Each structure stands twice: as structure tokens, then as C-alpha cells.
Structure 1
Amino acid sequence: MTTSVRTRLSGSWRMTDWKVFRGEEELDPPLGPAADCAGLLIYTNEGTMSANLTLLERPPFADGSLDGGTQQERADAYRSVIAYAGTYDVDELTEAVVHHVEIATFPNFVGTDLTRTCIFEDENTLKLDTPPMEMGGEWLGSYIRWQRTGTEGQ
């Protein structure tokens, strides 16, 4: 019996790799090299999802209050994180997951559907291929590789 894509997705995942492509050329993702980033992706059984990507090294604001930070500190913080959440559906035939974005750091994502092709490299490693997205004025393909949490080092 084959396990459904939805069942296989359910749980939490940590980012292990992130690549952007211009044809055959590899480029750094928008936040910088994958080795300098961290990510967490969560899919619930109820159909809710959350994706968070960030630089590992983010300087704290000089003013530590929640509404603090200079305009430059806030701009730098915004440039160092990509996060969104909402609901999701799975197309079992094409093995694609569609994220229905409800909230996001990038306002243009809100109200959109983001489709990702699921490639399960093994039961604990997930590669999500992204259709070309506009980055730096170009349409570039990408993928993010995720490791199921709790399976690091297995």
C-alpha cells in the first residue's frame, strides 16, 4: 500500500539545502548561501502550513523593545527573513503541494497559491521544487531540501 503524499508531508521539517538556478548556473538564494540560513516548515494533519526561512546571523536591535529598532535595523531584519503561513492542499497524482498563503512577510504572497513539487528522496528527506519565481528581475527556478525533524544524524 502506498502512503499518500499528504500523510508523508505531515510533520515538521528543517531546511538542509536551498538552491536557485539560472539555466544550469547555481546562484545563492535571496537570503544568501544556504549554509548561512535556517528554515522550518510545518504541515499539520488538519491542513495548515507554515514556512520560515532566515539568516542564521541576525544582529539584534539596539533598542530591545518589540516595537524598537531604527528604520535601517528594521529594513535589514526584513531582508533577512522569508515567512508565510496558511492552508495547503495536495494533488496526489502530480505529487504537488499548493500553499494557500494567508499571512506573509512578503505582502505580494498574501492571497496567492504557491505550488511546490514534492520529491521524497527517502522517508525523512523532502525536496520541494519551485516553479520559476521572479528574483532580481529574472524568472529563476529553485528548490529547498528539508529533513524531517528528529531524524538529524540518522
Structure 2
Amino acid sequence: MIDWKVFRGEDVIDPPLGPAEDCVGLLIYTEDGAMSASLSLAERAPFADGSLDGGTQEERAEAYRSIISYAGTYDVDEPSARVVHHVRIATVPHFVGTDLLRTCVFEGADMLKLDTPPMKIGGEWLESYILWQRNGAET
């Protein structure tokens, strides 16, 4: 992920995790139709006890607040330049079982901008996009 913008009308506001420059992300599509998307704060505090199932209530709340991730399958509709992510697992529980529509805008051979329809963020319906850059993989 190289950019993430959220729009309130003409105004650009920070994404839910914070400024895009403080975030990292990874988007994976496989040839057999699987996909995975993860967005996270680049700097996340580890749990003080260092265990997989540990952490204080505050540490766990911050860990949940600082990542958005989902995976499932996908379909591409080339005529409309859209991809649909069929979500099977997600950090955001209400994503599970839904289809997330994204409009694809190719910017050169190595960049893909995924525009989203309005999503509820902070109680408001806001539009956004995420710009992804290919990481050296050859097709």
C-alpha cells in the first residue's frame, strides 16, 4: 500500500487507522481466485506479556483498533473494471459473509487504485481509495 485517502465531500481526511504515511498494507490475489487484504499501523506495540493469547484489555483494544484485515475469494468484471471481494474471514466482524465492491483504476503496469463505494466510517458514509503498488512479482 502506498496511499490511502478518505473523502468527506471535497475534503480529504485521515483513514480510520490514521494518516496513510503511518500505515502499511498488503493486498494479495492468487490465480485460483483467493484474495487477502491487510492494512495496519506501521508501528504497533507488542503485548507486555509476549503471549499469543495475552495482553491487557487496553492492549487488545489497541491491537484491534490498529489493523483491518480480511480474506476470501474474488471475481473480476472486466467490462466494468470492478473486482468483488467475497469476504470469508475478517477483523471487522460485519464484513464476514459480505461482498465488497471495488472499482479498479490501473495506473501504469505496477499500480492499482481501488476505489470504494461509500462506506460507514465514524458514523458517516464516506468514499475512499487505496493505491497499491506491485512488489516485484512477475506474472
What is the TM-score when the length of structure 2 is the normalising length?
0.97
Match of 1:148 in 2: 134
* 2:76 aligned with 1:90: yes
* 2:55 aligned with 1:73: no
- After superposition, the C-alpha distances for 1:85-139 in whole angstroms (9 at most, x for unaligned) are 0000011110100000000000000000000000001010110000000001100
The letter for the 2-side match of 1:114 is L
* 2:138 aligned with 1:138: no
The letter for the 2-side match of 1:149 is N
* 2:16 aligned with 1:30: yes
Residue 42 (structure 1) aligned to one of 8, 13, 28: 28
Runs of 4+ in 1 over 6 A off after TM superposition: none
- After superposition, the C-alpha distances for 1:39-65 in whole angstroms (9 at most, x for unaligned) are 000000000000000001101110101
1:150, CA displacement in angstroms? 1.8
Q: Distance in 1 between matches of 2:112 and 2:44?
A: 27
Q: Distance in 1 between matches of 2:136 and 2:63?
A: 29
For structure 1, list consecutive stretches of 5 or more residues without a partner in the other structure: 1-14
* 2:86 aligned with 1:103: no
For structure 2, list consecutive stretches of 5 or more residues without a partner in the other structure: none
Counterpart of 1:88 in 2: which secondary structure? strand
Q: How many residue pairs are counted as aligned between the two chains?
A: 137
RMSD in angstroms over aligned alpha carbons? Answer: 0.8
Q: Distance in 1 between matches of 2:8 and 2:53?
A: 39
Q: Identical aligned pairs, as a percentage?
A: 74
